[in-house]
Amino acid sequence: MTHRPAAPSAIPAGLSHYYRASDLSGLRLALWEDAGSASLAAYLREAGAAVEVLPPGDGAGQGMPPLPLRARCAPGAGGAGKTGGGLSAVNGHPGGAAVLELDAAVVNLGDPNPLARRLQATGVPFVIFTDHPERCLEHYPAGSCVHSEDGPEALASAVLLHVAIFRSGLPVTPDLSGPGMSLIEMVPGLRAMARVLVPDAALADDLLAEAMVQALAYVPALGSEAEVGALLVMLIERLWHRQKLSRPC
């Protein structure tokens, strides 16, 4: 089942769980799908996203020039050069080709890896919807994987989470090679992540506060502030998913 009932109904998420529907309003996505596969476009659009459906052969080949895509909301990115519809002319593409600015890309292909490897070079976060997520781990952290058995709402949740982390400018894995970001420096990013996931500012701040309270139990076992920051990202994700599962209507 790919269509979602009107909010705030609970909707299936795989075989045994129900998720509160994700709100993708305002997000701009690109979607690649194999012909004949169950389309995800209608579901993502009903979630509020603007979806550009691209042919499976568009960008999936090897040895081709860079994909004409870039992140719309990269940390620190300005709006210079934008034109109507989210397109902008960017140097480096043949003939000054228009570049599609996206919040995220979604890949629903039998063999997602050739396209995923090209997407990694664009700076656009992407989510792979696949029967074999174990084969796609090489793309982390640029891309994340969702098992197709978990259903389209699990995909929508992964898209929103990936965009939240990307917009916040937070590292998804701790940098142990240097000092990295201090915990104080991470707090604005952690708050930004929570507010993408939970539009209500007060509830988003409550989400961050609860993650910080839970993190206190683990701090003595962690070796650096970077590890604490990575733990907080994980706890925000876990608490958010729990809220989606525990508030079905």
Q: What is the pLDDT of residues 11-59, one digit of tens each?
A: 444 444 456 778 899 999 999 988 766 678 988 998 899 999 887 765 5
> What pLDDT shows up at residue 179?
58
**Domain limits, the chain:** 10-168, 183-246
pLDDT band at 90 (very low <50, low <70, confident <90, very high): very low
CATH topology assigned to domain 10-168: Rossmann fold (3.40.50)
Residue 71: the pLDDT is 82
pLDDT at 73 over 80: no
For the stretch 104-132, pLDDT in tens is 999 999 889 989 988 888 888 999 999 88
Percent of the chain residues past pLDDT 70, beyond the cut? 71
pLDDT for 199-213, tens place per residue?
889 999 999 999 999
In DSSP notation, the chain reads ----PSTTSEEEETTTEEEEPP--TT-EEEEEE-TTSPP-HHHHHHTT-EEEEE-TTTTTSTT-PPPSEEETT-TT---TTB-GGGEEE-TTSGGG-EEEEESEEEEE-SS-HHHHHHHTTTT--EEEEES-GGGGGGGTTTEEEEEGGG-HHHHHHHHHHHHHHHHHT--SS---SS----HHHHHHHHHHHHHHH--SHHHHHHHHHHHHHHHTTTGGG--SHHHHHHHHHHHHHHHHHHHHHH---
If one compares 15 and 154, the residue with the highest pLDDT of the two is: 154
